[in-house]
Each structure stands twice: as structure tokens, then as C-alpha cells.
Amino acid sequence: MSAEPRHFLEIGDVSEDELLTILERAEEYKAAQHAGEDHEDLDGQTLGMIFQKPSTRTRVSFETGMTQLGGHAVFLGEDDIQLGRGEPLKDTSRTLSRYVDAVMARVFKHENIEVFAEYADVPVVNGLTDDAHPCQTLADLLTIREQEGGFEGVSAAWIGDGNNVAQSFVLGCALTDIDLTVATPEGYGIDDRVLERARELGGDPTVTHDPDEAAAGADVIYTDVWISMGQEDERDVRMQAFEGFQVCADLLERAPEASVMHCLPAHRGEEITDDVIESDRSVVFDQAENRLHAQKALLSWLLE
């Protein structure tokens, strides 16, 4: 029997040393690609990609990444496979394990990817759930490392909704000793279990409801949409609740040297202004590119 597969369902599934190994490998892959060098470390291997939610960056970065690594990716929409007709997750998981070398799944309920991983004989990667987006955090940390030259002494501010991206970022900052302050409206904060997990990982995130306080002196200011997929019916309530949490020029005056991050897609004019996302302070598209390099590093690390 082969060894138990290593899964990546949350950013806390890796240690600090393992995380740094993945980020260093991502930097190597990025340099190789920019130099036009081949790096087909997953030659002949196949990634199955399950999507219950639509995607731009997740799908294209994983599919392109497998191609650049010499492998192959198979897109599996929910209605393209038997999941859409009621096949149990554990049956799909065990079947795909006989066909592919790894699975990336982008689903709604976090418990679904946990069930999928429980029955899989190959590595399972969380491409996004309602609770977590660890692959995004890998790209975020790679971007911060590039911008700041490392993590020591770096301070970051999360401004906006305490959503899945925020929760993974909280854990990523804990692993890398980034000094993080999270500013959310009351009732939209980080789950208490995530904050406790961050403390277990060595972090001590500050929580506030004041975006100006969070932004003051930060090296990185990060935001995301206020209305995520599946929350469209909450739009009016959320727009009112998040008033004053926009990342705009006035907020950036609190952090004159800060880089601005956003995981995309952005609702320009809501959580972030057009002039900020287009400014020279924005590293949003470097961040988006880094999804590709970080995920290649993750896949090669899981499959080596």
C-alpha cells in the first residue's frame, strides 16, 4: 500500500517550514517561466479539477500550471460528472483516485471537501470553500514576500468582510509572523475558531471595527468584495453595513507606503475605488499572477 496522501484543505495544514519551502519553490518556478526555461516536474501526471462554483483565476492558473509542469488537467463541472445527479462525494472521490494523481475542488461547503479528502487516495487541494481559500493565501504571501523582501517586521491590514479569503489570510499571517489587524463591521468578523487557530499557530491578530485604525502605518492593505457568491440577496443590507470600509485614496493616507492587495474579482466603486486599484500602489495583478506560481509549487510539493 502507498503512503497516505497529503492534502491541502487549509493553510494551517502545512507548517511554517513547509510553507516557506513551497514559497521558495514558487519563486524558482516564476523565475524559470520568466526566463523561458522548461520545468516539467509533473510530466505525465493528471490533475482532476472539480468546480461547483464559477472561476477565472482558479481554473486558468491550475490548468495552465499543470501544462507548464508537463502534466494535464481535466475540468469537471458539477453537471459534467455524476455529482450533479446525486452521486455521493465518497464514491466520486474513490473513483477519481483511480484515474488522476491529484484533485483540486472548488465547492461551497467546507465539510464537502473534508469528506472528499477522507476517501481520496491522492492529494486533494482546496480551490475554495465557503470557509477557506488557502491557495489564494499562498499567492498573497508570495506577493508580500516579493514586495517586502520577506516577512520580518511586516504589518498588514485586512479591511472589509471576514470572509473565506480573510480567514485563510489570518492563518497565513500567523504562520509567517506578519503583524495583522483585521477591520470589519460588527457582525461580519472572523470566525472565533479561526482566531483561536491563528493563536495556536503563533499569531496574535488585532481585531477592530475601525478601518482607519487598521490601516495606520500598514505595509500592506488588503480587501475583498463585500458580497460574495451566494450572498446576492443580502446586497442592500451589506452595502449599508460596510459603509466607510472602502479602500480609497483617503484611507491610503493612513499608510503612505502600503501596497494594496485584492484577490479579484473586484467590484470597483464598492470595496475599492478604481483609482486605487489602477494606482502604482496596487500589486493586485502581481498577486493574481502569483496564483499560478504558488499552485505549481504546491502541486509539485504534494506529488513529489
Catalytically active residues are: 106, 133, 136, 224, 263, 291
**57 appears as a binding residue in the annotation:** yes
- Ranges of beta strands (E only) in the chain are 46-51, 72-77, 102-106, 124-128, 155-159, 179-183, 206-208, 220-223, 259-262
Three-state DSSP at 90 gives helix
Residue with cell 514558487: 26
**264 appears as a binding residue in the annotation:** yes
Residue with cell 517586502: 148
**58 appears as a binding residue in the annotation:** yes
Residue 230 CA from chain centroid, whole number:
18
**82 appears as a binding residue in the annotation:** yes
How far is the C-alpha of 81 from the C-alpha of 52, rounded, in Å?
11
SS (H, E, C) 224-263: CCCCCCCCHHHHHHHHHHCCCCCECHHHHCCCCCCEEEEC
**291 appears as a binding residue in the annotation:** yes
**164 appears as a binding residue in the annotation:** yes
What secondary structure does DSSP assign to 131-170, as a single string? S--HHHHHHHHHHHHHHHSSSTT-EEEEES---HHHHHHH
Are the beta carbons of 158 and 181 closer than 8 angstroms?
yes
Question: Beta-carbon neighbour count of residue 130 at 10 Å?
Answer: 18
- Residue 80: left (phi > 0), alpha (psi -120 to 50), or beta? alpha
Question: Beta-carbon neighbour count of residue 84 at 10 Å?
Answer: 11
Single out the residue of 248, 244, 254 nearest to residue 282, CA to CA: 248
**55 appears as a binding residue in the annotation:** yes
**133 appears as a binding residue in the annotation:** yes
Annotated binding site for L-ornithine: 164, 224, 228-229
Instruction: State the binding site for carbamoyl phosphate.
Output: 55-58, 82, 106, 133-136, 263-264, 291
Annotated binding site: 55-58, 82, 106, 133-136, 164, 224, 228-229, 263-264, 291
